[in-house]
């Protein structure tokens, strides 16, 4: 929401069967410009217990007329398991 309480962005997320976000589209409602919408993909590296330890956020971009996804952020986390 904006400072005056107006909705300015909507998110639509696609989840895999484990509940992880694999795709997200961010709609810029305020500008009402479809070119302002942004599409993202997420890639995960999982540990032996199925928890993600590396998550890569990729952003859809267009370069020289070709649309592709390029890494934007890489998140790492360490899981500690106790018996």
What are the pLDDT digits (tens) for 28-82?
877 767 677 899 999 999 999 999 999 999 999 999 999 999 999 999 999 999 9
Tell me the whole-structure pTM to 2 decimals: 0.82
Under 8 Å between Cβ of 58 and 74? no
Residue 26 to residue 58: CA distance in whole angstroms? 13
Q: Can you give the pLDDT at residue 5?
A: 86
Residue 42 to residue 73: CA distance in whole angstroms? 10
Mean of pLDDT values over 8-35: 88
């Amino acid at each position: 929401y904006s400072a005056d309480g107006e909705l300015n962005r909507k998110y639509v997320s696609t989840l895999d069967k484990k509940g992880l976000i694999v795709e997200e589209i961010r709609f810029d409602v305020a500008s009402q410009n479809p070119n302002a919408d942004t599409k993202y993909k997420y890639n995960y590296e999982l540990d032996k217990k199925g928890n993600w330890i590396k998550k890569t956020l990729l952003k859809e971009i267009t370069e020289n007329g070709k649309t592709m996804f390029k890494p934007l952020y890489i998140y790492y986390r360490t899981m500690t398991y106790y018996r």
